[in-house]
Amino acid sequence: MRTIHFLAALPLFPVFCAEPKAIRAAETHPLNVHDLVTLDRASEPAISPDGRNIVFTLRTTDLEGNKGRRDLWLVKSNGTGLRRLTSHPAPDYGAQWAGERTVVFLSSRGGSSQIHTIDIDGGEAESVSELPVDVENLRVSRDGKLFVFSAEVFVDCADLECTAKRDKEIAGRKATGRVFDSLPFRHWDTWSNGKRNHLFAMPRGGKPVDLMRGIAADGPTRPFGGVEEFSLSPDGKWLALTFKAPMGSQAAWSTNEDVWLVPTDGSAPPRNLSQDNAARDQQPVFSPDGRTLVWLSMKRPGYEADKQRLAVYDVRSGEKKYLLEDWDRTPNTVTFNRLGDKVLLAGYDLGQHSIFSADLRTGKVQTVAKEGHNDSPMDTGQGVVFLRETLGSPADFWVADGGREKRLTELNRERMEQIRLGSYEQFTFKGAKDDTVYGYVVKPVDFDATKKYPLAFLVHGGPQGSMANDWHYRWNPQTYAGAGYAAVVIDFHGSTGYGQAFQDAINHDWGGAPYEDLMKGLDAAVAKYPWIDGDRACALGASYGGFMINWIAGNTDRFKCLVAHSGNLDERMAYFDTEELWFPEWEHGGTPWENPEEYKKHNPIELVKNWKTPTLVVHGALDYRVVDTQGMSVFTALQRKGIPSKLLWFPDENHWVLKPANSILWHDTVLGWLDQWLKQPKKG
């Protein structure tokens, strides 16, 4: 997920970053939720083989339809020539290049998700598949003659037609009950339907071949962006992919995901390349010449937040070595440069999400782009192009070359020119274990140093995550700054980007060092910034952050209000509710019956008797990671104790809030709760 000391903060940056215009104009306004929801969002960039063009998905918001719309856009790698490539009511996404001028992508414009192509020089998109099931997660060979994609199938079916026929038969049944005989029976927000996600290779004009035929395991399922988990060799002959070996219910408590290699003609079954490692292996990527395969590899079985090293595999000889063993950062994405002698990595580093390069011969790591949240690096031959967002700006394309950086696009320029934001600063203080802990503070919009401002104190989830220098579409400090609040975030023990020891410190200590960091961080911020009114503060968090809000409620009454989103009340029962058992088993040192004291020592339910603080509870019915009965239990306890409280429950949302109208309701309800308890007029 998942005693207060006074101490002044140690400054890191003495001057506030003021990316937005500082001059207040009559035609501008503070950022609000409608601005946040309707900003355009760039993702899934893919660079052409010659390095000259980038195709990407741009998500716009259809408020009337209450959904996001996805179109493909094109921009030259020097930032010029920005234009929309597709325009259709159905979503277009997952674009790949087939040569220099042709883009292959997925679209449901025909009713189901199928493969389409379009020429970047003009013309209409053409469908090149008419398969009986939905297609996801696309790869294409350089010559455009081979497509690799994923699809949900019944393992015992010989072809896709069999799966489609069985789907129709099931839909026609009057009985709706399902029988399960193993875990997991549901995942994230979806119940198991007996199918598995398999990868297929299909020659253009030919029939698809199931590359995982007969294997009761799920291949990659990453629609609409995210980490990529399979790679097609440059010659189109081999596919590297990740999946857990069939292990029945053990899949629910094992992180042993392996990298497999399979010929795309289906002439042999997948071969396990990481069988010697019982921990997670992921994100295989072929080098430009196809001779080398790299992937990210963990060491400790059962731990999903372990440090990731780089596995380097020689495709011809089968020799394997590991790099980055001594680098005390953990990358979360990897790709090759154009020459194939280095890899580009992205990962958290001291409150930033930076891009690095690593030499495959020496293992030497260098920083390519540091400040902000940087991701999706692409080597053009003239520099590295990437997507960057910050606390003051949504995502745009930038280029880094030899230490110089340049912004290439302003995708939301007209919108952002109408919005006023708060300036922000990173600060440090001495936290638990006498370690240096980092945080950010965001000033209210139209800041006046003579005033005292109420505080929104945001607690991140994960817990191995970070409240870093990025632009978030729900937990964005700028939405609170726009509503007249100061915002403070703390990267407590357990946060990523500060070394593995700092990250591991939260294991078996959920309510210990992280709670101490948060309280000391709040003290430090109030001491350093006298315009923050520490007596008018509300703490808010989701997932682990929601757990922490419930824990805070039992340990201190220093906050005027609390907001707990998707947080556990009872860690013991949460173990039996969730679908990924490896997570609580690692974090709490085993099962509840093997190690009951670990589940009890930092369990919010043990301290309900101390609760006093008014609390807003938020949960989604489709949240199977932290089930909604946990949130309902929090609300029940608050109501039974007579504590002012509200429950915002979404029947159609999961662990996140995704629908535009629901996001607006979420923000309006949360900010209304803060206004009620922090902006009440003084009596007398």
- Residues 422-458: pLDDT tens digits? 999 999 999 999 999 999 999 999 999 999 999 999 9
Supply the DSSP string of 59-81, one letter for each residue. EEEETTTTEEEEEEEEEETTS--
Per-residue confidence band for 12, with pLDDT thresholds at 50, 70 and 90: very low
Q: What is the chain's percent helix, strand, coil content, to nearest 5?
A: 20, 35, 50
Cα distances (angstroms) measured from residue 271 to each of 245, 274, 455 = 11, 9, 55
In the predicted model, is pLDDT for residue 603 greater than 80? yes
Q: Which is higher by pLDDT, 402 or 347?
A: 347
- Residues 307-341: pLDDT tens digits? 999 999 999 999 999 999 999 999 999 999 999 99
- Residues 168-211: pLDDT tens digits? 999 999 999 999 999 999 999 999 999 999 999 999 999 999 99
Q: What is the mean pLDDT of residues 671-681?
A: 90
The tokens of 658 are what?
């995704």
User: What is residue 582's three-state secondary structure?
Assistant: helix
Q: What is the mean pLDDT of residues 552-562?
A: 98
* Cβ neighbour number for residue 402 with a 10 Å cutoff: 7
Q: What is the mean pLDDT of residues 134-140?
A: 95
Which residue(s) pair with 54 in the sheet? 47, 75
Instruction: With residue 98 as reference, give the H or E element that holds it.
Output: strand 92-98
Per-residue confidence band for 26, with pLDDT thresholds at 50, 70 and 90: low
> Which CATH number is correct for 10-32+416-678, 3.10.129.10, 3.20.20.70, 3.90.420.10, 3.40.50.1820?
3.40.50.1820
In the predicted model, is pLDDT for residue 19 greater than 70? no
In the predicted model, is pLDDT for residue 503 greater than 70? yes
Instruction: With residue 576 as reference, give the H or E element that holds it.
Output: helix 571-577
Buried residues in 416-431 as b, exposed as e (16+ CB within 10 A): beebbbbbbbbbbbbb
Q: How far apart are CA 337 and CA 500, in angstroms?
A: 27
Q: How far apart are CA 498 and CA 354, in angstroms?
A: 13
Going 412 to 414 to 418 to 424, the CA torsion angle's sign is positive
Per-residue confidence band for 137, with pLDDT thresholds at 50, 70 and 90: very high
* Domain regions of the chain by residue span: 10-32+416-678
Instruction: With residue 361 as reference, give the H or E element that holds it.
Output: none
Going edge to edge, which strands form the sheet with 257-263? 230-232, 238-244, 257-263, 271-272
Supply the DSSP string of 204-264, one letter for each residue. TTS--EETTTT--S------SSS---EEE-TTSSEEEEEEEPP-GGGGGT---EEEEEEET
- Residues 44-63: pLDDT tens digits? 999 999 999 999 999 999 99
Which residue(s) pair with 645 in the sheet? 615
The answer to whether 568 and 542 are in contact (CB under 8 A) is: no
pLDDT attached to residue 2 = 38
Which of the residues are catalytic?
Answer: 543, 623, 655
pLDDT attached to residue 228 = 56
pLDDT attached to residue 249 = 87
Summary mean pLDDT of the chain: 94
The tokens of 275 are what?
């069988």
**For the chain, percent of residues with pLDDT exceeding 90:** 92
Residue 521 CA neighbour count, 13 Å, CB half = 29
The tokens of 9 are what?
């903060």
